C-alpha cells in the first residue's frame, strides 16, 4: 500500500488512481479515505486522477500520540501533494476535511485550481452570540464523552441517527452504510477521534478570507452535525469567489446517501 512519511516520522496512507487533472479528497471525522469511494470511482471513470488519504490517527495511517490537530493535518496534506507533485488540483473536503481544505488552500494556493467545501465546519460551528445556529458547548462535550464512554457503541449511534438523517421520520436506514461508517471509525485511534473534536471549535474565517480561487460550498439544509445556518451563509461572506449549492432535506452524510445527485454537481463545477 502507498505511504509517505512526514518530517515528524508519521506514515500517511493514500490512494492515487488514474491520470488527468488531479482531484484530492479530504475526509470527515472519524472516517478515512474509504468514505470517498462513491466519488473516487465516479471521477476515475470520468477521466480524472483521484487522490485520497487517511489523516494521521485515522484509517491506515500511523496512530501517533501527537499532531491530531488541523495544522498538522494540513502539513501532512502539503507533504502528500508535494510528494505527488500535484498542480492545478481540485481539493474537496467534507466536514472536518472542509476545514483541512480551507486551511490548505489558504496556504498553498499556487498548487490549487478550485476547491469544494461539503457540509464543512467553516468558518466555525460553535454557538455564540454571533453564531446562534451553531452547536452549543455541551454538544462537543457529549461527543467526547461518547468516545471515552463506549466508542464502539457511540460509533453505531452516530450513523444510525444524525449523521445520515436516519433518525428523521420516514427515513430508511441502510445497515451496510451504518456498518461501513463504524468500520472506518473503529480503524482509527480513540485518541485521534477524541482530539479531532477540538478542531471543531476553531475559527477558520481567516483561512476563507485568504482564498482567491473559485470555491463551491455544498450543504444539506437538514444537516444535524454542522447546522446549515451556522456555517453556510457566513462562509460565503468571507470567500472572494464563492458559489453556494444547497440541498433541501439532505443530511450531513449526503455524499454517501445522495451521491447520485452530488457527483454530477461536483463534475459540473470542476468543468466550469
Q: Which residue numbers are catalytic?
A: 95, 223, 252
Rg (CA), the chain: 17
Query: Measured between alpha carbons, how far is 173 from 186 in angstroms, rounded to an integer?
Result: 20
Residue with cell 444524525: 162
Q: In degrees to the nearest 10, what's the CA dihedral of 233, 111, 254, 188?
A: -120
Q: If we measure between CA atoms, which residue out of 201, 257, 206 comes closest to residue 235?
A: 206
Cβ-based neighbours of 268, under 8 Å, separated by 6 or more: none
Q: In this structure, are strands 215-220 and 112-118 parallel, antiparallel, or unpaired?
A: parallel
Residue with cell 491520470: 19
Q: Which residues pair with 217 in a beta bridge?
A: 117, 244
Say if residues 96 and 29 touch (Cβ distance below 8 Å).
yes
Amino acid at each position: 500500500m502507498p505511504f509517505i512519511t512526514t518530517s515528524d516520522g508519521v506514515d500517511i496512507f493514500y490512494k492515487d488512481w488514474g491520470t488527468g487533472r488531479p482531484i484530492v479528497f479530504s475526509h470527515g471525522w472519524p472516517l478515512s479515505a474509504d468514505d470517498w469511494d462513491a466519488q473516487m470511482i465516479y471521477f476515475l471513470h470520468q477521466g480524472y486522477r483521484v487522490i485520497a488519504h487517511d489523516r494521521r490517527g485515522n484509517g491506515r495511517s500511523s496512530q501517533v500520540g501527537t499532531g491530531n490537530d488541523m495544522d498538522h493535518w494540513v502539513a501532512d496534506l502539503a507533504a502528500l501533494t508535494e510528494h505527488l507533485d500535484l498542480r492545478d488540483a481540485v481539493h474537496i473536503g467534507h466536514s472536518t476535511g472542509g476545514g483541512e481544505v480551507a486551511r490548505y488552500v489558504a496556504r498553498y494556493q499556487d498548487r490549487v485550481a478550485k476547491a469544494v467545501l461539503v457540509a464543512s465546519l467553516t468558518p466555525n460551528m460553535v454557538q455564540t452570540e454571533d453564531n446562534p445556529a451553531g452547536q452549543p458547548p455541551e454538544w462537543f462535550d457529549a461527543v467526547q464523552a461518547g468516545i471515552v464512554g463506549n466508542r464502539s457503541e457511540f460509533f453505531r449511534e452516530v450513523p444510525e441517527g444524525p449523521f445520515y438523517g436516519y433518525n428523521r421520520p420516514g427515513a430508511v436506514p441502510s445497515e451496510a452504510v451504518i456498518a461501513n461508517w463504524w468500520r472506518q471509525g473503529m480503524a482509527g485511534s480513540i485518541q485521534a477521534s477524541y482530539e479531532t473534536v477540538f478542531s471543531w471549535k476553531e475559527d477558520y474565517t481567516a483561512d476563507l478570507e485568504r482564498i482567491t480561487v473559485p470555491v463551491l460550498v455544498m450543504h444539506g439544509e437538514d444537516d444535524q452535525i454542522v447546522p446549515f445556518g451556522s456555517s453556510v451563509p457566513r462562509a460565503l461572506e468571507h470567500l472572494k469567489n464563492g458559489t453556494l449549492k444547497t440541498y433541501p432535506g439532505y443530511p450531513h452524510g449526503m455524499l454517501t446517501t445522495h451521491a447520485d445527485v452530488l457527483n454530477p454537481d461536483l463534475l459540473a463545477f470542476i468543468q466550469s
